[in-house]
């Protein structure tokens, strides 16, 4: 099997969490002779090549981040340039996000299923997973802890041609976090995370506190 992979993030490849997820995913995907070609929506110079690849491939995987509860505008702009295929092409999706709860990705997931119909293709399922904010801030083992599990999902996709399996459905984790975890996260947000975000902001040249309100 050969798979066309499209990274639908508007963030350039170097900074894209989706790209880091795909790095691990494709390790599992390629273990048994599956091959792939990957393109980035963030690079408009690639759009013509992506369009050609869309019309000539029958297994397509679009990996995208959730942006404001649905799909990024730049990806939408690209998709609107495509015509329906109606030739049995299968499209699957990796839908990933910052916040952890699966429930907030379900509206996007439902849209992706509809979108596949608009493109005249067959829906091969969506791998839904949050809790990915940190990927671009981590390196080495810490990053691998978040992205590593996607390797197994690459194997699942290669074996089943999509994500319509119980294993892929279970990959989402919590639909809604239990109360004790929400409480712990609230405390973490006000303490450690606050310090960490302030440090990141300083490293990016921010000279004011993160809760600075000059117009208040
Ligand atoms: C403009 C913008 C909107 C976002 N909206 C959401 C959101 O609604 N829900 C969520 O959980 N994460 C949201 N995120 C976080 C991203 O989904 C998350 O960081 C993702 O891993 C980014 O992947 P990328 O680096 O490949 O773009 C948003 C991020 C940005 C920049």
Query: Does 42 sit in the ligand 1 pocket, CB within 6 Å?
Result: no
Q: What 3-state class would DSSP assign to 35?
A: strand
Give the bridge partners for 64, in sequence order: 95
Domain-wise residue ranges, the chain: 2-176, 178-216
Give the sign of the dihedral formed by CA 182, CA 188, CA 190, CA 196: negative
CA dihedral 179, 184, 187, 192 (to 10 degrees): -150
Task: Give tens-digit pLDDT for 163-209.
Answer: 999 999 999 999 999 999 999 999 998 999 999 999 999 999 999 99
- CATH for 2-176? 3.40.50.360
Summarised one tens digit per residue, pLDDT across range 8-65 is 999 999 999 999 999 999 999 999 999 999 999 999 999 999 999 999 999 999 999 9
Average pLDDT over residues 126-154: 95
Regarding the beta carbon of 99 and ligand 1, being less than 6 Å apart is answered yes
Q: Tell me which of 65, 69, 72 to substitute to probe ligand 1's pocket, judged by most ligand atoms within 8 Å of the beta carbon.
A: 65
**What count of residues does the chain have?**
216
Taking CA atoms only, the protein residue closest to ligand 1 atom 31 is 67
Task: Give the position of tokens 């795909």.
Answer: 22
């Amino acid at each position: 099997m050969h798979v066309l992979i499209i990274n639908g993030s508007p963030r350039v490849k170097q900074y894209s969490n989706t790209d880091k997820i795909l790095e691990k995913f494709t390790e599992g995907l390629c273990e048994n002779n599956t091959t792939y070609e990957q393109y980035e929506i963030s690079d408009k110079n690639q759009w013509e090549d992506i369009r050609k690849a869309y019309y000539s491939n029958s297994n397509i995987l679009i990996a995208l981040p959730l942006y404001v509860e649905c799909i990024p505008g730049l990806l939408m702009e690209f998709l609107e340039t495509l015509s329906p295929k109606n030739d049995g092409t299968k499209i699957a999706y990796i839908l990933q996000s910052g916040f952890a709860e699966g429930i907030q990705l379900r509206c996007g997931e439902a849209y992706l299923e509809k979108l596949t119909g608009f493109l005249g293709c067959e829906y091969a399922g969506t791998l839904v997973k949050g809790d990915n904010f940190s990927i671009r801030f981590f390196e080495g083992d810490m990053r691998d802890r978040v992205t590593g599990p996607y390797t197994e999902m690459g194997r699942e996709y290669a074996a089943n041609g999509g994500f319509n399996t119980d294993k892929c459905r279970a990959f989402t984790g919590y639909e809604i976090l239990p109360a004790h975890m929400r409480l712990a996260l609230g405390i973490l947000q006000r303490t450690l995370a606050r310090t960490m975000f302030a440090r990141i902001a300083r490293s990016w040249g921010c000279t004011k506190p993160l809760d600075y309100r000059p117009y208040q």
